[in-house]
Structure 1
Amino acid sequence: MDIKAYIKSGILELYVAGQLSEKENQEVSQLMQQHPEIHQEVLEIEAAIVKLTEATSPHAVKFDALKDKITETKVVALKPKTSNWLSYAGWAASIILAAGLLWTLNTKNQLEEDIKTVATEKQTLELQIEDARHSLAKTKDLLEAIRAKDIVTVPLNGQGNFDTSYAKVYWNKNDNAIYLDAQGLPEAPKGKVWQVWSLTLNPLIPTSLGTIDDFNSDDNKIFAIANTNESQAFGITLEPEGGSETPTMEQLHTLGIVNTTP
């Protein structure tokens, strides 16, 4: 075989870089044992890589210091080694291949991150869709309830200094529930809650129907409230968190009397 042509082919650089197949590695190893020239070339390639690594490391010797050292040292003439451009080309190809593999790995990692992001966004969207469906179903149920044939509508008007407040009660006596539309009430201040009252007028007896703790966070401001009382009126007051046993009349925002006229 033509040893020089084989050396110039670049296969030895690929061998050192670990880019050959197992079969090709075995072939190179056998030729190294048979031909000392090939073995020597592999050693020189490995030495060149070591020097290149040292030259590019953070602790590499500065050029000026190296030049001064060479000046002080006795120069020994060595037989110049013929440049092997094909070998360098093969080594350069190995570096380019390694860079390409690194780029592919980074691209794969970025793709995996993008897939995770899309999956998270998809899950969030599914939850939003489910919430929208639930809200739509709730709205449909409320509309059916307030449009029932036997529903009693009770407007609650603003009282005293709160004349801009308003609300409306839809009372279905058949299922012992009221549906309170409280869109006309302002948000409850910090530390306060809206409390709903059922009233009998003669004598005046207030009965708490509970507090609306989620008033500020509720979007449609319509609330279903149990009511088993023979109510003659409904009122809404602003009370401390946790509610009050009796209504604070100074904080009576709305009041409405049930119309008993057929």
Structure 2
Amino acid sequence: MENKEYIESGILELYVYGLLSETENEEVTTMAKNNPDINAEIIAIEKAIVSLSSSFSPFHSVEIYEKIKAKLELNPTTKVIEMEPTRNWAQYVGWAAAILLLVGIGFQYNKLEQTSNQVVNATTEKIKIEQELNQLELKNKASETSLAIVRDIKNTVVPLGGQDAAPESSAKVYWNKETQVVYIDAAGLPEPPKGMVYQIWSLKLQPQLTPTSIGLLSDFTANEAKIFAVDKTADAEAFAITLEPAGGSLSPTMEQLYTLGKV
């Protein structure tokens, strides 16, 4: 290996730091004795370390280091005791501790994320259950209302039969003549076309036919029970249901008369 490659390999720094094995240490020592460039590089690394150390320990300057080194060189009989290079186990332990800490943090973060996801899922499930309960409650109330209407003996039940526009259609009117409250059971009506709505009419037959609108069956699809409350009426002699444009009409469209029934 050439001197430049040997110097750039980083082995000289490890030699100065005392991190080489005994065999590697002897190899570098031999190379330094036989090669001025390598020896000079070792001296340069030592000086750099001493310079760095002086910034933290001003009592051990480069000058003192050089004086000590000069005395040693002037006394060649001084026996240099080869010390076994020590390894900085504290540094390795520190890195290992840091790695374990990072692994622990990662594990805790993963557990925290899993817990957060579980909380979000539980919250979402809770909201879903609450919505379902609310829907069931609304359905139960609608069912209770429907049963109360059907079972109320004070209600007059008026069957409405299908007409030419929709022969298979049917409906029922539940009319309390005392309170004038009117409910429509529209379960026998088909879904109205888009942009159309069913309109309820209270009819006076004498002395002439006089229709009065008492409401629209809005949200027909959403109303699963198909029981609708409409406006009160006091003196109806018949009821009719027509199909009208959205928003209703001022007078019934007889061509779209779906159901009709006398009181």
TM-score by length of 2: 0.64
Q: 5 Å matches for 1:122-137? A: 122-137=126-141
User: 1:121 aligns to what?
Assistant: 125
Q: Deviations over 1:21-75 (max 9, x none)?
A: xxxxxxxxxxxxxxxxxxxxxxxxxxxxxxxxxxxxxxxxxxxxxxxxx979342
Kindly provide the amino acid, as one letter, of the partner of residue 19 in structure 2: K
Shift of 1:124: 3.2
1:73 has 2:4 as partner = yes
Identity %: 42
Change (3 A) 1:245 1:81: same
Shift of 1:183: 0.9
Kindly provide the amino acid, as one letter, of the partner of residue 134 in structure 2: E
Provide the rounded CA distance (Å) in 2 between the counterparts of 1:139 and 1:72. 97
1:171 has 2:167 as partner = no
Query: Unpaired segments of 5 or more residues in structure 2?
Result: 22-86
1:206 has 2:231 as partner = no
Shift of 1:253: 0.8
User: 1:103 aligns to what?
Assistant: 107
SS in 2 for 1:73: helix
Change (3 A) 1:112 1:71: farther
Shift of 1:212: 1.5
Residues matched between the structures, number: 189
Larger-Rg structure: 2
**Is the CA contact (8 Å cut-off) linking 1:169 and 1:178 kept in structure 2?**
yes
Kindly provide the amino acid, as one letter, of the partner of residue 157 in structure 2: T
Instruction: Give the CA RMSD over aligned residues.
Output: 2.5
Kindly provide the amino acid, as one letter, of the partner of residue 252 in structure 1: L
Specify which of 137, 156, 168 is matched with residue 152 of structure 1: 156
User: 2:66 aligns to what?
Assistant: none
**Is the CA contact (8 Å cut-off) linking 2:158 and 2:173 kept in structure 1?**
yes
User: 1:249 aligns to what?
Assistant: 254
TM-score by length of 1: 0.65
Specify which of 226, 229, 232 is matched with residue 234 of structure 2: 229
Change (3 A) 1:74 1:131: closer
Change (3 A) 1:138 1:219: closer
User: 2:45 aligns to what?
Assistant: none
Q: 5 Å matches for 1:18-57? A: none
Q: Deviations over 1:206-258 (max 9, x none)?
A: 11011112112211111122322311111111101110000001111111111
Change (3 A) 1:73 1:95: same
Change (3 A) 1:173 1:85: farther
Kindly provide the amino acid, as one letter, of the partner of residue 223 in structure 2: D
Provide the rounded CA distance (Å) in 1 between the counterparts of 2:165 and 2:230. 27
SS in 2 for 1:75: helix
Shift of 1:122: 1.1
Q: 5 Å matches for 1:81-96? A: 81-82=19-20, 84=87, 88=92, 91-96=95-100
SS in 2 for 1:216: coil
Change (3 A) 1:85 1:248: farther
**Is the CA contact (8 Å cut-off) linking 2:165 and 2:255 kept in structure 1?**
no
SS in 1 for 2:6: coil
Kindly provide the amino acid, as one letter, of the partner of residue 173 in structure 1: K
**Is the CA contact (8 Å cut-off) linking 2:169 and 2:258 kept in structure 1?**
yes
Query: Unpaired segments of 5 or more residues in structure 1?
Result: 1-69
